[in-house]
Amino acid sequence: MDDVGAACASIAKQFAGYVDLPTYRAMLDREGVANPADVTIAGDANALKSALMKLENMGVTDLMVSLAIIDNDTYFRALDFLAEQF
């Protein structure tokens, strides 16, 4: 997704209730962030590849992806991108 602001806003809205769930709140607190939008990875293909490489270099072995649905075209481009990566 090229519109990083729209992606973060969508994630913040989609996962707003998570900030009040004790398990998720503890996880967010450990990461030093206020809400799930603060750990959102968004941008063009190069930005996404760079972020995935950074996670891999950090030792991340499992990744859960939640897509921000801004529009159908963006959603399906994101799915295609992820399918190419994994």
The Cα 76–Cα 55 span in angstroms is 23
pLDDT bracket for residue 2 (50, 70, 90): low
The Cα 46–Cα 51 span in angstroms is 9
Average pLDDT over residues 10-33: 92
What pLDDT sits at residue 75? 86
Does residue 19 contact residue 34 with C-beta atoms inside 8 Å? yes
The tens digit of pLDDT for each residue in 56-71 reads: 999 999 988 888 777 8
Q: What is this structure's pTM?
A: 0.74
Mean pLDDT for the chain? 89
